Copies of this chain bind each other. A is one copy, B any other.
Amino acid sequence: MNNWQDYVRRVIPYTPGDQPNKPNMIKLNTNENPYPPAPGVAKVIKNMDAGKLRLYPDPKIKGLIEELANAYGLDNDQIFVGVGSDDVLSLIFLTFFNSDKPILFPDITYSFYPVWADVYGVSYERPKLDDNFMIVKEDYYKENGGIILANPNAPTSIYESLDIIEDILIHNRDSIVVIDEAYIDFGGESAVKLINKYDNLLVVQTFSKSRSMAGMRIGYVMANKKLIKYIDDVKHSINSYTLNYASILAGIESVKDKEYFENSNKKIINTRKKTEKFLTEYGFTFPKSSANFIFAKHEKFKAVDIFGALKASDIYVRYFNHDRIDNYLRITIGTDEEMEELRFFLKKYLNR
């Protein structure tokens, strides 16, 4: 064996949900939006001058940052944009989580957090959510090297009130606190209103869920300009040009169309209500969802069995073989029609 093998960074990578590609499948496994992006996105892509691709894209992503700043009532220098919120979160880990103290995140949450910690050599502790999968805020009063919380949380779908978030911020003025709001537009109130009050707060959002643009890879973080500058410097130490020309154009159109955005979020919330209704009728229980998915277990049938049966019928949901959640299914909210197909299947499968 050659010596270089001793110095390879060996990691256990994150495993994303399956990306099956079957013609008639119902894909409710990766929390994608069932609706297309705003109509302006299709238009700007269709009219895009491909000749411009010979040039580097704007490394400052100015056009898109201006639109976001305008939409959220922030200054341009309070926003950083990356290649999906995963890119943004990874940069945040690399930029801020460098102390010897462990960072904190719940035992049940987005399973990428421990992966980023491992790849960058950060230690971590995982306080347990309570039996209802709620945060025990006192668990975050101890010394730490940073805190990251998904709100609404995944895969639980639970939204914690801003009072809880603010309480944790107040008890952690010496730590960076990251609120990962990938699902915030489906029912929660964003912590972005707190960024001017807490200089240690970062609020991360994404175009992949509520903006129907998982395929374009756009995520962003909002914070005070000092924190944004630190992230931007690290980003510019890795790759000057991340968002490509097409993403920037498409992102701008998406943010501009506020009405379309709000309508498709409403549609998903309505479909979620209908889905909750039939799931309850069929013997499922689940926490109150503030996301575009439901985290459900059945009173009699095992989650892994339902998961397998659904998959055999080309209906894909997500199952996690992890401690405490191995009897739950995470079901993305699709269109009304897709959820009806799910309902038909479950009615038959569960003998209802």
Contacts and interface: CB of A to CB of B under 8 A. Distances in A.
Contacts of A50: 36-37, 41-42, 45-46, 250
A123 to B, nearest CB: 13
Interface in A158-184: 173-176
A54 interface: yes
A6 interface: yes
Interface residues of A, number: 85
Contact of A36 (B53, B98, B250): B53
A213 B54 contact: yes
Interface stretch (A70-78, A86-94, A125-133, A319-327): A86-94
Contact of A96 (B4, B90, B119, B146): B4
A16 B54 contact: no
Interface stretch (A239-247, A273-281, A294-302): A239-247
Interface of A: 2-4, 6-14, 16, 19, 27, 30, 32-37, 41-42, 45-46, 48, 50-59, 83-84, 86-87, 90, 94-99, 115-116, 118-119, 145-146, 173-176, 199-200, 208, 212-217, 230, 232-247, 250
23 contacts: A2-B174, A4-B174, A7-B97, A8-B230, A9-B94, A10-B230, A11-B234, A12-B233, A12-B237, A14-B236, A14-B237, A16-B59, A33-B54, A34-B54, A45-B48, A53-B215, A83-B239, A116-B237, A119-B237, A215-B246, A216-B244, A244-B246, A244-B247
